[in-house]
Structure 1
Amino acid sequence: MSNYTPRKSTRIQQTYQKSVKRNNSALLVPQKYTPPMSRQGDNSAKERNPNANRFTPLLLSDKAMEGMPSVESSPSKSPVKQKSKLDSDHGATPDTPEGSNDNDPLLTMSSSSNAASEQYIKESMLMLRRSFQQDIQKLIEPTIQQVSVLTSKVEHIENKMGEFATAQNNLADDHDTTKDEVTALRIKLADMEDRNRRNNLKFRGIPESVPPKELEPFLKDFVKSLLPDCSAQEMEIDRAHRLPRSRNIDPSVPRDVIARFHFFKTKENILQAMRHTKELPERFKHINIFIDLSQTTIQQRRLYQPITTALRENDIPYRWGFPVKLIIPDGNSTRIVHNPDQGLELLNKWGIAPAPIKNRLG
């Protein structure tokens, strides 16, 4: 075997020798190359040395490295020494750790290559960033347009909703105003209807055996029994007829008769006499009298029925006002009851129990 001696003129050899001195460690040295044997002896050679054709690195110790030639003893001039000379001429004093070779061309190339690599990486990152920005811009541009369209639509809808809310508030206010107006009109219409019926009286209990043509004579006889001093002229009746039977009334019950008296005073006298008369002739014993009112007024007065019944039972006079209310004289003053709750409070104050509710007005 012969020792492997590197050439002194190459850069790799110089680096090799410097690394040996710097690290003082084991190096890789190739073994002697053994040419392959003839084809006939290939099998035997492989059996003797299976790794004969391989390049096997050899670890050399520090003692083995002592006999190897040094690059520094070579008289050849190297670029490293020339560069160090130039540096010494220019007065360069590099700040490097002691024992390191500052004029190493590989280190210089490595630093310059590192700077170039960093610059290249920065430029690549900038180009990559711009590319990403452009790609993202292309991707989100349709989304931005859609968001812009949706934003305009939402603003339009919000404006419309504001208009609708204003219109709704106006409609609510108008509804309340219209409701009040309708209530006032209903009250006025009911009052007009009541005034048109102010001379009418409804008679309940007249037998069906009395024919229509005999209704007026029968009613005049009934008025004569209540008001003996009433003249024939005061008892004048404009018209009288039966009313249709209600669905909730038994068919055996005779239909009501409505009569219009020519004089309002005669109607009022009949009502007053009916309230104070305790006994009637047998012929008229089952007859009851009611004033003729509109349906609206009847429904409102029906709410006061327990109060009016209790007042009649205790001989307390009262009269109706417009709109529907009770006017009750109380000594030198007058009490006005605007709703049933006030009437119940007044009865409670007087110590009068309200009467039970009946189906018919009295």
Structure 2
Amino acid sequence: MTCRKRLEVRTDKLENKIDDIIDLHNSFDNHLSVAKEVAVLQLKLADIEDRSRHNNVGIRVILDTVPAADLEDYFKVYLSSILQDLPASEIVIDRIPRLSKGRNVPQSTPKDDIASIHFYHLKTQILSACISQRSVQDMYKAIQLFPDLFVFTMNKR
């Protein structure tokens, strides 16, 4: 084989390898652009979910001894104790469904509840007041309130 033929074979192999590298690089670029689009879509989905949960407040540690029918009254009394400046007639709650426990949650853990507060300004007052929790009765000391956010949003924080 002549020197020219060997050079042609080597050049051909090199060009084929470069073509393979270019194909892989383009594939990788496509993967990165799709990953960016997925991240943007996840943020948009989280934003939509959070907006639909806009007025919700999560409640942890209302004991299972409080029946589901009495949750709203129980929670209103608690809110009256932390929002002492606000008349009880202005505390408007749409509903309080009791959430089921996850599969991996121990039985001893109380269920979370979600309160749908009718007015957003009331929700912000509630969350601000629960941070300072002035003088709360002993039966309400263990209650924790938190904003109801989409799982993706909570994981990002």
Partner of 1:214: 70
The answer to whether residue 137 in structure 2 is matched with residue 281 in structure 1 is yes
Within 5 A, what are the aligned runs for 1:1-362? Answer: 155=12, 160-232=16-88, 234-301=90-157
Letter in 2 for 1:256: D
CA distance in 2, matches of 1:220, 1:193: 26
Aligned residues: 151
Q: Give the C-alpha shift of residue 171 in structure 1.
A: 1.1
User: Normalising by the residue count of structure 2, what TM-score does the alignment of the two structures yield?
Assistant: 0.82
Q: Structure 1 stretch 262-271 or stretch 181-190: which is displaced more? A: 181-190
User: Aligned with 1:207: secondary structure?
Assistant: coil
> In the alignment, is the contact (CA less than 8 A) between 1:245 and 1:255 conserved in 2?
yes
> In the alignment, is the contact (CA less than 8 A) between 2:62 and 2:112 conserved in 1?
yes
Q: Give the C-alpha shift of residue 166 in structure 1.
A: 2.1
Q: Which protein shows a greater Rg?
A: 1
Residues 1:159 and 1:274: Cα distance change in structure 2 (over 3 Å): same
Partner of 1:66: none
CA distance in 2, matches of 1:227, 1:193: 28
User: Aligned with 1:246: secondary structure?
Assistant: coil
User: Aligned with 1:242: secondary structure?
Assistant: coil
> In the alignment, is the contact (CA less than 8 A) between 2:82 and 2:134 conserved in 1?
no
Q: Give the C-alpha shift of residue 206 in structure 1.
A: 0.7
Unaligned 5+ residue runs, structure 2?
A: none
User: Normalising by the residue count of structure 1, what TM-score does the alignment of the two structures yield?
Assistant: 0.38
Letter in 2 for 1:230: L
User: Aligned with 2:146: secondary structure?
Assistant: strand
> In the alignment, is the contact (CA less than 8 A) between 2:81 and 2:135 conserved in 1?
no
> In the alignment, is the contact (CA less than 8 A) between 1:234 and 1:263 conserved in 2?
no
CA distance in 2, matches of 1:265, 1:220: 16
Unaligned 5+ residue runs, structure 1?
A: 1-143, 302-362
Q: Give the C-alpha shift of residue 160 in structure 1.
A: 4.8
User: Aligned with 1:290: secondary structure?
Assistant: strand
